[in-house]
C-alpha cells in the first residue's frame, strides 16, 4: 500500500457540500491499495504510521508519534498515488488495486489505524472529495509497503 502522510493542525474532507470527515491536530493520510496488497500490508502500514515520530517534543525535535500526542487521523482514499508517469504525459493507474479490492483494503486500513488506539475520520471511497488541510511544518512523508 502507498500512503502520503501530512502532519496537520486540522483537516477535513467534503463530499457534495457535506463534511464527511474532519480532525484537529494529527495526520492526514492519503492512501492507495496496489495490486497484490493484502490485509497484512494494510496492518503494517497502519502500525508504522501510528508510531512514526514526526511530532515535536519539548525540545522541538521530531521525536513523538501521533499516539504520543493524542492526535487524530483523517484517512482518505486516493488511487492517484498509483500513478505511473514513466512514459507519455498521461499518468497510468493500472497498478492500483481494482475498485472493489481497493475499497476493502481502504476500509481495513482505516480500521487497523483505529486498532492502534487512534481516533479516525474518513473520506468516502470513490467519491469526488474536496480535502482541506493546514499542513503543520510542513511535514509530508511518503510510505510504500513494497519498499521494505
DSSP E strand stretches across 16-128: 18-23, 26-32, 55-56, 62-64, 72-77, 119-122
Q: Which of 14, 55, 79, 109 is catalytic?
A: 79
Lookup: cell for 147: 519498499
Lookup: cell for 13: 474532507
69 is catalytic: no
Q: Which of 6, 14, 55, 78 is catalytic?
A: 78
Please tell me the distance from the alpha carbon of residue 99 to that of residue 85, in angstroms, as a whole number.
21
147 is catalytic: no
Cβ–Cβ < 8 Å for 1, 33: yes
Q: Which of 80, 93, 115, 140 is catalytic?
A: 80
Lookup: cell for 61: 525535535
Cβ–Cβ < 8 Å for 1, 30: no
Please tell me the distance from the alpha carbon of residue 25 to that of residue 28, in angstroms, as a whole number.
9
CA angle at 10 for the pair 50 and 138, rounded to the nearest 5° = 75
79 is catalytic: yes
Question: Which positions are annotated as active-site residues?
Answer: 78-80
Amino acid at each position: 500500500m502507498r500512503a502520503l502522510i501530512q502532519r496537520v493542525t486540522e483537516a477535513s474532507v467534503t463530499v457534495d457540500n457535506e463534511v464527511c470527515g474532519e480532525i484537529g491536530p494529527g495526520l492526514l493520510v492519503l492512501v492507495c491499495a496496489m495490486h497484490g496488497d493484502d490485509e497484512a500490508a494494510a496492518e503494517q502500514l497502519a502500525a508504522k504510521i501510528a508510531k512514526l515520530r514526526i511530532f515535536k517534543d519539548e525540545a522541538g525535535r521530531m521525536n513523538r508519534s501521533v499516539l504520543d500526542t493524542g492526535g487524530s487521523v483523517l484517512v482518505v482514499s486516493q488511487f492517484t498515488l498509483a500513478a505511473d508517469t514513466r512514459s507519455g504525459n498521461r499518468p497510468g493507474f493500472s497498478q492500483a488495486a481494482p475498485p472493489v479490492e481497493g475499497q476493502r483494503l481502504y476500509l481495513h486500513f482505516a480500521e487497523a489505524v483505529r486498532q492502534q488506539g487512534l481516533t479516525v475520520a474518513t473520506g468516502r471511497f470513490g467519491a469526488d472529495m474536496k480535502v482541506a488541510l493546514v499542513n503543520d511544518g510542513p511535514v509530508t512523508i511518503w510510505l510504500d509497503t513494497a519498499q521494505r
